[in-house]
A = this chain, B = another copy of it.
Amino acid sequence: MGSTIGDIGEFGLIARVTAKFPQTENVIIGPGDDAAVVRAADGRVVATTDLLVEGRHFRRDWSSARDVGHKAAAQNLADVAAMGARPTALLVGLAAPPDLPTAWTDELSEGLSAECALAGAAVVGGDVVRADTVTLAITALGDLGGRAAVRRDGARPGDLVAVNGTLGRSAAGLALLRAGADGPAECLAAHRRPRPPYPEGPRAADLGATAMLDVSDGLVQDLGHVAAASGVAIALREEALPADPVLEEAVRVLAGLGAAPPRAAAFMLAGGEDHAMAAAFPAGTRLPAGWTEIGAVTEGDGVTVDGAVPPRGGWDHFG
């Protein structure tokens, strides 16, 4: 006999979810006031926001509330890391119908909180309103710790291009869910709950990264933003992409279901939402374990793979 958020009301819901958000030493004032106050010792604060809409960014029948919480937090925390910063705080807006079970908002909160813990952040505030469609609005804050922010516009000809984190697994996981497959589990999990390599953002900044972003719309499309902002071309080599037997297996499963999947490399080049870090570094940078060099920055414009312009992929929210 579960309750709904309509049963407990706005203030009941706020009290209930707030209890699930442990605070950190960076939080001076947490949830419950007009606004939160968060430490920004660096004298600058990194801030980013994303909206997630049910039916478009998640499905309640494909992802648990906990997964949705993890994913919503992850995609924002990854944006903070991709500037070279450590995440400190999350603000969460929830629009939802009154018949949404409190069990769902409980698990959502636990997912948000757990993902924040992975990144070192805390949920410090938010808002809940009534709407027909479940919608999440997440804002993440972060601390550069004295580092220069790594933008998209600093890549220079001669730089190497490298990635850290999985590529294509989330897109393959979505294709598997659409095809009704129940594995490989790693791909389904990647779609439901991406695992961005948060510490690698600040690490890349410390290594001298000249440009960086997290891969949210697809590697080629996102590196296209780096190329355009930097006024350069980026030449990727397909054979340099990190081999991923799990992705190969996903392609075999999809083919077995008659789903006519693309090659694994195509998932890696066009699939978004894994939130790997992709960065340019000065030539000769010694990359730590976990980073894979996949190409180079050259004169020109656009992104090529083995010298050719890849078919248009990625994601335009209104296209």
A interface residues with partner B (beta carbon < 8 Å): 5-6, 8-11, 13, 28-29, 32-53, 56-57, 79-80, 82-83, 85, 89, 91-95, 98, 124-133, 135, 137, 139-142, 144, 149, 151-152, 212-214, 229, 316-319
Contact = CB atoms under 8 A, between A and B. Distances in A.
A316 B91 CA distance: 20
Contact of A131 (B33, B38, B133): B133
Give the 9 A-B CB pairs with smallest separation, nearest first. A137-B137, A35-B48, A40-B40, A49-B91, A51-B93, A139-B139, A34-B79, A10-B317, A34-B82
The copy count of this chain in the complex is 2
Contact of A318 (B83, B98, B151): B98
A40 B44 contact: yes
Most buried by B among A92, A93, A94, A144: A93
A45 B40 contact: yes
Contact of A316 (B9, B132, B142, B144): B9
A318 to B, nearest CB: 5
Most central of A44, A49, A130, A213 by chain B CB within 10 Å: A49
A35 B46 contact: yes
Given A5-B318, A34-B79, A93-B137, 19 more contacts: A10-B317, A34-B82, A35-B79, A35-B82, A35-B85, A36-B47, A39-B43, A40-B40, A47-B139, A48-B125, A49-B126, A50-B93, A56-B130, A95-B135, A128-B318, A129-B317, A130-B318, A131-B135, A137-B139
A130 B47 contact: no
B45 A38 contact: yes
Contacts of A36: 46-48
Contacts of A149: 28-29, 33, 37
A34 B91 contact: no
A28 B37 CA distance: 20
Given A10-B318, A135-B131, A139-B91, A47 B38 contact: yes
B48 A44 contact: no
A43 B45 contact: no
Nearest to A91: B49
26 contacts: A5-B318, A6-B318, A10-B316, A13-B318, A34-B48, A34-B79, A34-B152, A35-B80, A37-B149, A43-B43, A47-B47, A47-B139, A49-B125, A49-B126, A49-B139, A51-B94, A51-B129, A51-B131, A52-B129, A53-B129, A53-B131, A57-B129, A128-B317, A129-B317, A130-B317, A137-B139
Contacts of A131: 51, 53, 56, 133, 135
Contacts of A151: 29, 33
A222 B28 CA distance: 22
**A29, A40, A50, A152: residue with the most chain B Cβ atoms closer than 10 Å:** A40
Nearest to A216: B34
Contacts of A34: 48, 79-80, 82-83, 152, 212-214
